[in-house]
Structure 1
Amino acid sequence: MTYPTVIVNGVSVRVDKDGRYNLNDLHAAAVLKSEASESQKPSKFIRSSSLKRFVRALDARGQKSPLEQYQSLSVVNGGNQQGVWGVELLAIRYAAWINPEFEIRVYETFREAVLSGISHMNNLNRLDLLIATETEQVSGCARTMNKWGRGGRKKLLNNARERIIEQMDPDMVTIMQNSAA
């Protein structure tokens, strides 16, 4: 599944393969517009006991199977994917922790991404229906052409024409050919 990339305050918020958004990117977007301070980094946000309860509740709801543990929050130290990663609900909760106006902007950005995805899906469905309809029409034309072509209905009609001409008086055939010209 491909998750939507969102842009907040001109900063592209990365998303990992599991659909978690990089909270460090959200922090950078908030700092860019002076909506957050350096003390509001994601590493501080995730230390809250209320957030830990929230994450446990999210993880319990999203559990795929007893063997496969779902994680709504992931902290990656080092590498290309370094940072704090959270599902959309955690990203919005983090934005609320930073600043109410920033929360509204982040929420609207996520909602816009979803609505845009729905709109694209609607357009794709319409296009698929159009393609299927036109494919059926073209296939019908191809079947008709196939029946008409070499050895088909055209040959049958021409043979019938020739038989009728053979049965006609030769003088009448000449008159018909001259009047057709």
Structure 2
Amino acid sequence: MTNQTVNVYGISVRVDSEGRYNLNDLHAAAVVNGEATESQRPNKFIRSAAVKRFVSALDSRGQKCRLEENQSLNIVNGGVSQGVWAAELLAIRYAAWIKPEFEIQVYETFREAVLSGISSMNRLNRLDLLIATETKEVSACARAMNKWGVGGRKKLLSCARERIVSQIDPDMVALMEGDTTQ
């Protein structure tokens, strides 16, 4: 279920395959940094009527599907991936509920992770373009070499040269060869 992490105050916050952040990990990061108390756990946050309306609005916004993987909030009881998993907007709202300074830190961390991903994609795209361009150039060179090589243009030109040499008076050939050695 978990594909990646982001670091908030040195604490790894897990991100699931649907892009939801683990609010329990965010809470741990806030507690470690002295910005949250034990009473600000995610289970208390998600019980709020305002948060329930927010989640409902997120889920209905352009989403007709009620599949679990398409929901902005996913609660996993037990197992390796247990905890409260929330879409980015909901995770930022949770951070704001804890403390405004923590919200800023979380927002900046998430933004940096996205920008880092975009930067990596740009580098990857440039590298793919370079590989494709050089592949075309190498292929063109290989085709030219293939035309030149064994049985190709080189052999044709060599045969033509031999025919011309055979048609020349042997004394002229000796004179020409003598000129090239001087």
Query: For this structure pair, what is the TM-score category when the shorter chain's length is used for normalisation?
Result: over 0.9
Q: Secondary structure at the match of 2:16?
A: coil
**What amino acid sits opposite 1:150 in the alignment?**
V
> Which whole-Å CA distance do the structure 1 matches of 2:5 and 2:164 have between them?
74
> Which whole-Å CA distance do the structure 2 matches of 1:46 and 1:118 have between them?
31
RMSD (CA atoms): 1.6
Unaligned 5+ segments in structure 2 are none
Q: Please name the residue that 1:21 is paired with.
A: 21
Q: 2:20, 2:87 within 8 Å by CA — same for their partners in 1? A: yes
Percent of aligned pairs with the same amino acid? 72
Report Cα offsets for 1:33-66 as digits up to 9, x if no partner: 100001000011001000000001111125254x
Q: Please name the residue that 1:111 is paired with.
A: 111
Q: 1:4, 1:113 within 8 Å by CA — same for their partners in 2? A: no
> Which whole-Å CA distance do the structure 1 matches of 2:64 and 2:7 have between them?
29
Unaligned 5+ segments in structure 1 are none
Q: 1:77 to 1:62 in 2, by over 3 A?
A: farther
Q: Secondary structure at the match of 1:15?
A: strand
The reply to whether residue 35 of structure 1 matches residue 4 of structure 2 is: no
> Which whole-Å CA distance do the structure 2 matches of 1:179 and 1:4 have between them?
76
- Report the TM-score, using the length of structure 1 for normalisation: 0.93
**What amino acid sits opposite 1:90 in the alignment?**
L
Aligned length: 179
Q: Please name the residue that 1:127 is paired with.
A: 127
- Report the TM-score, using the length of structure 2 for normalisation: 0.93
Q: Please name the residue that 1:175 is paired with.
A: 175
Report Cα offsets for 1:11-46 as digits up to 9, x if no partner: 010011211110000000000010000100001100
Q: Please name the residue that 1:47 is paired with.
A: 47
Q: 2:4, 2:16 within 8 Å by CA — same for their partners in 1? A: no
